[in-house]
Amino acid sequence: MLYDIVHSWIGSIFAEHSEVPVPESILEWGPKNITLTKEESKQFPGPFNPELSPAVTILFEFYESDDWDEFICSKSSQLGMTLALLVLICHKIKFNPQDIILALNNREEIQRVGNTRLKPMITGCKAIAQRVPADEDKMQNMTLYLIGLTLYLIGSQAAGAAANKSCGLAAVDETDESPEAMAGNESNIVDLLRDRLKRQDGAKLVA
């Protein structure tokens, strides 16, 4: 009880005297700020609802914990983990803007996810509108130059594209379909992304 009172009081002082917003939890922030289009969710368009797939909230708990640096899981493609990851990225853009690397199994797939899922979610979120550049050319291709951070989209068959890039969040999805995995060396892209996190305090890896 005393902790909650003190935490709320400190938070109010921080919010009053700082331009950096006090983070809401992703579970609180997501439904209020992320709206899913019919293209993103044919069955459940509208406000993001984590209750439709409660298992994915473990990703949010990991991200908001200071106890863990890596989240590595094997999951069903129907679980909704990719959607949860995109919501997490938007939350990070709002409250902890650092460079981000998002990798998928191939260039075509990451382009599709970037163009049809991630970019519409970012540009449709009013809470992070101040991070979206007026120049639309900065949101094209595989590198999104947001205001205050850069989001790199890479295919894991071109893992070298992540070289020399430092980031606060690195996420790789569908590693079981990557060329490295098929060759029996799945760890290549994950190991490379680990190296990209070493220069950032509190950096997180999702795979």
Q: How many Cβ atoms sit within 10 Å of the Cβ of residue 124?
A: 17
Per-residue confidence at 41, pLDDT binned at 50, 70, 90? confident
Q: Are strands 46-47 and 70-71 parallel, antiparallel or unpaired?
A: unpaired
Do residues 187 and 180 lie in contact, with contact meaning Cβ atoms separated by under 8 Å?
A: yes
pLDDT at 68 over 80: yes
| Residue 141 CA, distance from chain mean position | 18
Higher-confidence position of 78 and 4: 78
Do residues 169 and 92 lie in contact, with contact meaning Cβ atoms separated by under 8 Å?
A: yes
Do residues 120 and 135 lie in contact, with contact meaning Cβ atoms separated by under 8 Å?
A: no
What does residue 32 show for φ and ψ, rounded to 5 degrees?
A: -85, -20
How large is the average pLDDT for residues 148-177?
79
Per-residue confidence at 158, pLDDT binned at 50, 70, 90? low
The dihedral of CA 157, 163, 165, 169: what is its sign?
A: positive
Among 88, 82, 93, residue whose Cα is nearest residue 53: 82
Question: Count of alpha carbons within 13 Å of 101, Cβ hemisphere only?
Answer: 30
For the chain, the first-to-last Cα distance in angstroms comes to 37
pLDDT at 42 over 70: yes
Higher-confidence position of 109 and 174: 109
Q: How far is residue 172's CA from residue 18's CA, in Å, rounded to a whole number?
A: 33
Q: How far is residue 171's CA from residue 194's CA, in Å, rounded to a whole number?
A: 10
Q: For 69-101, what is each residue's pLDDT tens digit?
A: 999 988 777 778 999 999 999 999 999 999 999
Higher-confidence position of 21 and 178: 21
Give the H/E segment covering residue 172.
Answer: strand 169-172
